[in-house]
Chains A and B, each alone.
Chain A
Amino acid sequence: MKYVPVRHAAVGLAFAAGLFVGSPALAQTTQTMLDATKPGDKYRVYVANEYNADITVIDATTDAVIGTIPISGRPGLVRPRGMALSPDGTIIYVSISDFHPEFEVTEDKIVAIDVRTNQILQEFRAGGNPERIALSPDGKQVWASLEALAQGGGYDIATGTQFVQFRVGIEAEGVAVSPDGKWVYVTAEATHTTTVYDVENKKILKHILVGNRPRAVAFSLDGSKAYVSAEIGGTISVIDVNKNHTLVASINLGLDSRPVELVVDPSGKYVYVAGGGTSAIYVIDMATNKVVNTIKEKMGRRPWGVTITLDGKKVYTANGLSDSVSVIDPDCMCVIKNIAVGRGAHSVQIGRIPAGV
C-alpha cells in the first residue's frame, strides 16, 4: 500500500524556519533533535488512527492534512496505536496490533515510516499486542509494551530482532526510556504498577505501585522525574528517579479526567496531560505539581494523544471520539484549530524533514 497524498491540499510543505518540533518522547530526543535541526527543516504531524488502520499526515506549518499512509487494508481489525520518533526526527515508528488481543498474531509488529517519503522503511515482529513504544536516545533500540503477554520488549532496529523481553504487570501499556538511556519504564493497567528495567545491567529493578489503571509515562527533560498517568484514579504519579525510583507525589486531576498521554514541554517546566474523560488538556507546573491551566474550550472529544513542538509554540492532541486533532497555542492556552483526521485518533507525533531534502 502506498502513501496517498491529498491532491487539493497545499502538498508542497511550507518553509518552517525556526520551527522545532517534538514528540511525547521529547526528553529523549530534545538534544539530538536540536543538534540535528537547521533552518529550512520541514515538519509533519503524524496521527495514528486506530479504527481506520492508517496514519494521517498533517503539514505542521499550515496544519492542513496532506495525505494518508495506509497501514492495513483491514480497518477495524488492525489497529495502529503507539508512536515514537527517531532522535533526528526523520523516522516515525508505529506499533501495530489487532483487535483480538490474543497472544501473537501476524499483525503484531512495529513499522518505521520515512518522514521524507511517507513510505514504510522497515517493519518487524513484536509479539503480543504491542501497544506503545519508545526509542532509546541513540535511536538504535525500540522498546515496546506487549499488552497481551504482560511483558516489555526491546528490539534492535538495525536487525529488527528482539534482544530482550521482561516481565511487567498485566495489560502492559505505557513505555518510556529515560533521557540517559539507563531506564525503561513500563506501566501495567490491571496491576497498577510501573516496572523499572535497568538497561545496562539487563534486569528488572523494581515494580512501583502507582495510581489506578496507569496508562502512559514520560520523563522530565533532565531525567530526574517520571510522570505516570492513571486513568481510573484520575492522577499523575510523580516518581523520583534518583531516589531509587520512588513515588514522591500524586497529582489529582479528578476522577473524570481519565488521563492518558503526557508530554513535557521544551522548557522542562510544564507537563501537558491529555484528559480523555473531560476532553481537556491539563497543564501541570512541574515545580509545584499543581495544575496551572485546564484547556477545554473547543477541544476535540476524548484526547488520548498529546505532543508539543520543540519550540513550544504548538501542542497537538489526538482526539479519539471526534476523529480529530486539536491544535493548542500555549501562549493563550487555547485551541486555535481542529483538524479532521481518521477514525479513532490514538496518538500523535511530529517528524522532521531535514533542510535540502
Chain B
Amino acid sequence: MPETVNQTSLLAAKSLHKSYRMGGQPLEVLRGVDIQVEAGEWVAVLGASGSGKSTLLHLLGGLDRPTEGSVSFEGRDVFAMGGKAVDRYRNRKVGFVFQSYHLLPELSALENIAIAAMVGQSVLGWIGARSECRRRAAELLDRLGLAARAKHRPAKLSGGERQRVAIGRALINQPAVLLADEPTGNLDAKTGEQILDILRGLHRDGQSIVMVTHDSKVAAAADRRLTLDGGRTRG
C-alpha cells in the first residue's frame, strides 16, 4: 500500500519521480514515491541494491532534484525555495550519514564535525559562534566515545570511529531529520551494532531518522519500515 501523505508531516515526499539517462536511454529509478516522516519518528526504507534508496535519500535531503513530485519540510516545498534556501536546508534541517563516511581527510575528527557548523557561518559570524561550536563538537565527540580521538585525522581512525565522526558531523547543527544511507553497510556486525545503538540513543532523545538499508535486521531497529521496489514504496 502506498503511503498516505500528510502535508503537515515533518518531512514528506509526494509522487516523487526520478529518472536518469543511461547510454541515451531513460532510466526511471523512482516512479511516484510517497513517504512521510513525523517528528521523532524513525523510518527505515528497505530495498535491494539499485532500487533507488540512496536517490530517495538525496531527494529528501535536497541534494538532488526530482524529475517530478515534491518534497516538503514542515509543510514547505523544499524545491520551491531558492538555491540558497536549499543550501541552508541541507545545512540546518537535515544531516547526512553516508555508508562510506565521506570525511574530509585533511581535517581532524573535531574539525570534521565542526565544519558543518562553519559552513553555516560567515567569517564574522564564526568569530561569535566559534567557541560554542567547538564546545558542541567536543561534546558530540565525547558522547560518541571519541574524545581521545579529537585531533586524529580519518586515516588514523577505524571504520566504526569514522562513522561515529560522520554521525557527529550530521548532528552538529541539531537537524530535524537524520538521513542515514546504509550507515552500517561498511562495518562488521559488532561495529554495525554499535552504530545502531548510537542511532537508537538519538531516537530515544527524539531525533527523527530516515535510514535506507538493504538489511532487514538493521531495518528492524526502526519504528516503521517501508520497502522500495520497482521505484515505488510499499509499507
Question: Do A and B come together as binding partners?
Answer: no
